[in-house]
A and B are shown apart, each in its own frame.
Chain A
Amino acid sequence: MQTLTDEQVQSVKNYAAAMRREIIKMITEAQSGHPGGSLSIADVVALLYDVEMNASPQDPHNPDRDRLVLSKGHAAPAIYAALALKGYFPIAELGGLRKIGRLLQGHPDMKHIPGIDMSTGSLGQGVSASCGIAIAGKLDHKDFRVFTIMGDGEQEEGQVWEAAMLAAHYKLDNLTAFLDNNGLQIDGKIDEVMCPEPLPDKWRAFGWHVIEVNGHDVQELHQAVCEAKTIKGKPTMIIMHTVKGKGVPEMENQAGWHGKAPSAEQCAIFLSELEGEQ
C-alpha cells in the first residue's frame, strides 16, 4: 500500500494542525521551549502516530510496539502534542510543560511520560539508542520498527556518524531515520555555522538507503516509509526538506524562533493563522 486515501491524508493533516496549535499554546504557557523545530516535524510525527506506527495509548509498553526516538529532543512539544491528542495522557498536561512538579519535562523523559520510548535531549544520543533498540528487536526476532527523528544541526555531532556506521555494519533494516532538514540551527544557517552538507551523499556513503522528500507532504512521507520497509540489509534515512516554524508565517525560516516562546499577543495571532491554514 503505497498511497494513502484522501480520508487518511485529511486525518493526518487535521491531526498535524491540531498539534501545531497545541505546540504554540504550550510553549506560550511555559514561556520557554523550542517552537521552530517542533513545527517543522509536526507532519511526520502526525503521520507516524496516525498511520505508520503500531503503538497504542492503551498499552504504551507493549514489547511488540513500534518505537519512536526523538533524537532532536528539544522538539518534544511536537511529540507531547501528538501523544496527548491520541490519549496517552490528558491534554491538560500540555499546560504544565516545563513547570516544576509537572509531567512534561523540557526534553523527553521515558521514565515518567507515557509513550516516550527513550529519554533524549543531548543531541546525537537518540540515534545510538535507536540502534540498540533495533539490535534488540533483531535478537528477539521481533518485527517492530524503530523510527528516529534527527535534526540537521544535530548532524554536526560526531556520535551521529558513529551510530551511522554501526547501523549499516549490523544491517539494521528495521531502523528508519528522518532528518529534519530545515537548514537552521540556533546560531543561524547550518551551512554558515558548520556545514554538514551534502547530507544525502554522506548518508549514502555511510551505507544507508537514502530517500529525499518534502517533509510537509504527507503522501510523499508515507511512500518513503513504505519504501523503507522494502529495503533489506540496510537502514533507511529519509531526508525531509522542511521549513522551520512551518505553519506560522512569522516563524517560518527564522532561526530566532529556534528556542523562543511567543508572547500572549503573538500566540493569539499565530493560533488564528493556524486556524486559517486548516
Chain B
Amino acid sequence: MAKATRDAYGEALAELGAVNNDIVVLDADLSASTKTNVFKKAFPDRHFNVGIAEQDLIGVAAGLAATGKIPFASSFAVFATGRAFEQIRNSVCYPRLNVKIAATHAGITVGEDGATHQANEDVAIMRSLPNMSVVVPADAAETKAIIKWAAAYDGPVYIRMGRSKVPDIFDDSYQYTFGKGIVLQDGVDVTLIAMGIMVAKAQEAAKQLEKEGISAAVVNMSTIKPIDAAMITAYAKKTGAVVTCEEHTIMGGLGSAVAEVLGECCPVPLTRVGMNDVFGESGTPDELLVKFGLTAEHIVQAAKAVIARK
C-alpha cells in the first residue's frame, strides 16, 4: 500500500493528541494540505491556525514551548524553513525550545505548483542551525514512528515530509532510532545512502544492479542530523564507493553530510544524486523526477560510475 508521508503525519498527530494533552498543533492556512486538520477535528481546542503568517507561526510555537507545551508547527517546507528561517534560528534554536517543525510538500514532487513551492534546500538550511535535529521519513510507517519520537524528544526537530504517495518500506512494527541509519539491504560493491522518497528508488536501483552482478547496500538515512557517521564509515570501508540519493539540492543536504563524513573519516569515491543547483518547474511528480535525474535508473548509472572510480 502506498501512502503520502503527510497523511501519516496527520494520523500520528491525532493519535498523540489523545495520549498527551501538551501536544499543540499550529498551521498557517494549509491544514487541509499538511493534514493537521485530522488533529484539528479531534482536538479543536489545541489546534491554532495562525493564518498566512509563517514568521508568527514559529514565534507563537516558541512561546508555547517556553511555557511547557509541545508545539508541532506545520506549513509547506519552502515557507516553514525559508520565510521563517530567522525566527527558527533566534526564537527556537538559540534558546533550544521544544518546537517541532513538521513541514510537508518538500522537494520537486510537489509537482504542478512549480519552482516557487518546491523546497530543495530546506534540509541544508535546517542542518546549519545549532541545536536543530533534522529527520526525513521514507514512508508512512516511519513517519508515524518519527512523529511519536519527536513528541517525546526534548528539543527542536525539523521533520521533512512529502505531498505524493510513497511505497511502503516498513510495517507498523517499525521502531525509529534517532541518529541511526538503517541498512535495508546489504552489499559489497557500492553503498546507496538515501533519504525520503529516494529510499524506495535506491531499493529499486539495487535490484537492477543485482541483475547486472553488482552487489549494492542500501541505507535509509532518515536522521540527517546528527548523521550516522559510524555507519557511513563502516559501509565506505566495506564497499569502497558511495552514492547519495536525495530529492533535494546536492549542496548542503544528505550528499554533503555524507561527503563531510567520508572526507574526514574514510575518503572513497562518492557520487551525489539530487537536484544539481537548479530550480524545478511545473509538471507531474513522475515527469519531474525523470527530468531532474531522480529515478532508479539515474542511481544505477551513478553507482556504475562511482564503482569505476574505485
Contacts and interface: CB of A to CB of B under 8 A. Distances in A.
Interface in B143-158: none
B95 interface: yes
A119 B45 contact: no
Contacts of A131: 56, 59-60, 63
Contacts of A182: none
A166 B63 contact: no
Nearest to A111: B95
A135 B48 contact: yes
Contact of A129 (B24, B46, B53, B62): B62
Contacts of B59: 124-125, 127-129, 131-132, 159, 163
Contacts of B45: 139
B1 to A, nearest CB: 36
Contacts of A169: 51
B34 interface: no
A119 B68 contact: no
Interface string B70-98: 01000000000000001100110011100
A122 to B, nearest CB: 4
Interface string A101-137: 0000000011100000111111011011111111111
A136 B55 contact: no
B90 A122 contact: yes
Given A122-B90, A139-B45, A158-B55, A132 B65 contact: yes
A117 B91 CA distance: 12
A123 to B, nearest CB: 10
Contacts of B55: 124-125, 128, 158-159, 162
Contact of B67 (A137, A159, A166, A170): A137
A167 to B, nearest CB: 10
Interface in B189-207: none
Contact of B61 (A117, A132, A158): A132
Nearest to B91: A125
A162 B56 contact: yes
B3 interface: no
A159 B50 contact: no
A165 interface: yes
A118 B95 contact: yes
A182 B94 CA distance: 29
A171 to B, nearest CB: 12
Nearest to A110: B95
Nearest to B56: A162
Contacts of B298: none
B44 to A, nearest CB: 12
Q: How large is the interface on B (under 10, 10 to 19, 20 to 34, 35 or more residues)?
A: 20 to 34
A276 interface: no
Contact of B56 (A111, A119, A128, A134): A128
A63 interface: yes
B66 A129 contact: yes
Given A159-B56, A162-B55, A163-B56, A136 B87 contact: no
Interface string A142-177: 000000000000000011001101100110000000
Contact of B62 (A121, A132, A158, A170): A132
A109 B94 CA distance: 8
Contacts of B266: none
A129 B73 CA distance: 13
A139 B56 contact: no
A239 to B, nearest CB: 21
Query: A69, A119, A124, A132 — which one has the most chain B CB atoms within 10 A of its CB?
Result: A132
A128 B28 CA distance: 14
B80 to A, nearest CB: 15
A129 B94 contact: no
A162 B50 contact: yes
Given A159-B55, A166-B51, A132 B46 contact: no
A159 B59 CA distance: 9
A63 B22 CA distance: 14
B59 to A, nearest CB: 2
B180 interface: no
Contacts of A119: 90-91, 94-95
Contacts of B96: 111
Given A119-B95, A158-B55, A166-B56, A130 B87 contact: no
B69 interface: yes
Interface string B23-59: 0100000000000000000000110101101011011
B188 interface: no
A133 B64 CA distance: 5
Interface in A57-111: 63, 69, 109-111
Contacts of B65: 132
A162 B55 CA distance: 8
Given A128-B87, A139-B45, A109 B95 contact: yes
Given A159-B55, A170-B48, 9 more contacts: A69-B63, A109-B95, A121-B90, A128-B56, A128-B62, A129-B62, A132-B66, A133-B64, A162-B53
Closest A-B pairs by Cβ, 3 of them: A132-B63, A128-B59, A136-B67
16 contacts: A63-B67, A122-B87, A125-B90, A128-B55, A128-B87, A129-B59, A129-B91, A132-B61, A134-B63, A135-B63, A136-B63, A136-B67, A159-B87, A162-B56, A166-B50, A166-B56
